[in-house]
């Protein structure tokens, strides 16, 4: 069975892409077949996987527009041992251009059906917005992973996201569930972070992953080398945390 996870939070800079790339690499190193879909015109997951967004010819944009078959667009991440559907800035135009299509929210879901059986996990790195691209991610997914920083406004944004997930469940994807909330860039010395973390656990219980991703400079450096952190500094706290997250997810995957 393939498990498709949308990595989503409409708030920017919370660690969606860092989680997508490093979880993809960590699941792959455990022997799983993994596909990462870059659904963000910023194309950070593409660059972070070692693929140059300036030179890549066909992308997720062509797939969504119906101008390329997804199996011809996927590439192997040179170092990460997983496959990637790359993006570039063309994708910014897709929102407007897709408006004409019927079932425009299901374009990614339909495309993934052609290759899903090749993989154990498909991770979708969503853009920081509740837009049509994110809606495609949510319609294609079985479950949502929500990376978040433990800050005051994080909880407020979370209720918008939970409401969106409910609406998607009612209208398009009845099986969609929240897989888990992931605390990212965590600094245990920060009292507010601790308090927000406690509140999260109170509200969401075992939906909060036990694994916590610490703030770690190696995680921030690795994309500059086009590498998952595992291949930049495998001993770093960041690399170890994403390996632990992969194990936690594998243990829960029945």
For 231, half-sphere exposure in the C-beta direction (CA atoms, 13 angstrom radius) is 22
Residue 88 binding target from ligand ATP, Mg ion, none, CB below 5 to 8 Å by type: none
Packed helices 152-171 and 132-140: angle between N→C axes, nearest 10 degrees: 70
What is d(CA 126, CA 106) in angstroms, rounded to the nearest whole number?
15
CB of 253 to Mg ion, least distance (A): 24
Instruction: Give whichever of 10 and 44 is closer to Mg ion, judged by the CB atom.
Output: 44
Contacts of 42 (CB under 8 A, 6+ apart): 127
Residues within window 11-70 making contact with Mg ion, judged by CB under 5 A: 16-17, 44
CB 47 within 8 A of CB 53: yes
Residue nearest to Mg ion (CB): 17
Q: Which does 219 bind (CB under 5 to 8 A by kind): Mg ion, ligand ATP, none?
A: ligand ATP
Residue 245 has φ and ψ, to the nearest 5°, of: -60, -45
Token pair, residue 99, equals: 């408006």
How many Cβ atoms are within 10 Å of 114's Cβ, its own excluded?
A: 12
Q: Is 9 a binder of Mg ion (CB under 5 A)?
A: no
Which lies closer to Mg ion via its Cβ, residue 40 or residue 105? Answer: 40
CB of 40 to Mg ion, least distance (A): 5
Q: What is the DSSP string of 105-128?
A: GGHHHHHHTTTGGG-SEEEEE--S
Residue 200 contact partner, candidates Mg ion, ligand ATP, none, CB within 5 to 8 A by sort of partner: none
Which of Mg ion, ligand ATP, none has residue 134 at its interface (CB below 5 to 8 Å by kind)?
Answer: none
Compare residues 17 and 26 and give the one whose CB is closer to Mg ion: 17
Judged by the rule CB under 6 A, the positions of this chain that interact with ligand ATP are: 12-18, 40, 42, 44, 128, 184-185, 213, 215-216, 219-220, 223, 238
| Contact positions vs Mg ion (CB under 5 A) | 16-17, 44
């Amino acid at each position: 069975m393939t498990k498709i996870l949308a990595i989503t939070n409409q708030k920017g800079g919370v660690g969606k892409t860092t989680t997508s790339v490093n979880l993809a690499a960590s699941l792959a190193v455990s022997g799983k077949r993994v596909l990462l879909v870059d659904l963000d015109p910023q194309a950070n997951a593409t660059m972070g996987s070692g693929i140059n967004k300036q030179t890549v010819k066909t992308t997720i944009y062509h797939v969504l527009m119906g101008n390329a078959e997804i199996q011809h667009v996927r590439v192997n991440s040179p170092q990460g041992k997983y496959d990637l559907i790359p993006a570039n800035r063309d994708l910014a135009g897709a929102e407007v251009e897709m408006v004409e299509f019927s079932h425009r929210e299901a374009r990614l879901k339909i495309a993934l059906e052609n290759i899903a059986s090749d993989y154990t996990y498909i991770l979708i790195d969503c853009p920081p917005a509740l837009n049509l691209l994110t809606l495609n991610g949510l319609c294609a997914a079985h479950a949502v992973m929500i990376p978040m920083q433990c800050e005051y406004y994080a909880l407020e944004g979370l209720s918008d996201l939970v409401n969106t997930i409910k609406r998607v469940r009612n209208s398009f994807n009845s099986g969609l569930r929240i897989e888990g909330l992931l605390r990212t860039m965590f600094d245990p010395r920060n009292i507010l972070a601790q308090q927000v973390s406690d509140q999260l656990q109170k509200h969401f219980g075992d939906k909060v992953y036990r694994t916590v991703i610490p703030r770690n400079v190696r995680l921030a450096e690795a994309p500059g080398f086009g590498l998952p952190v595992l291949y930049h500094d495998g001993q770093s706290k960041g690399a170890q945390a994403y390996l632990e997250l992969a194990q936690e997810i594998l243990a829960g995957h029945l």
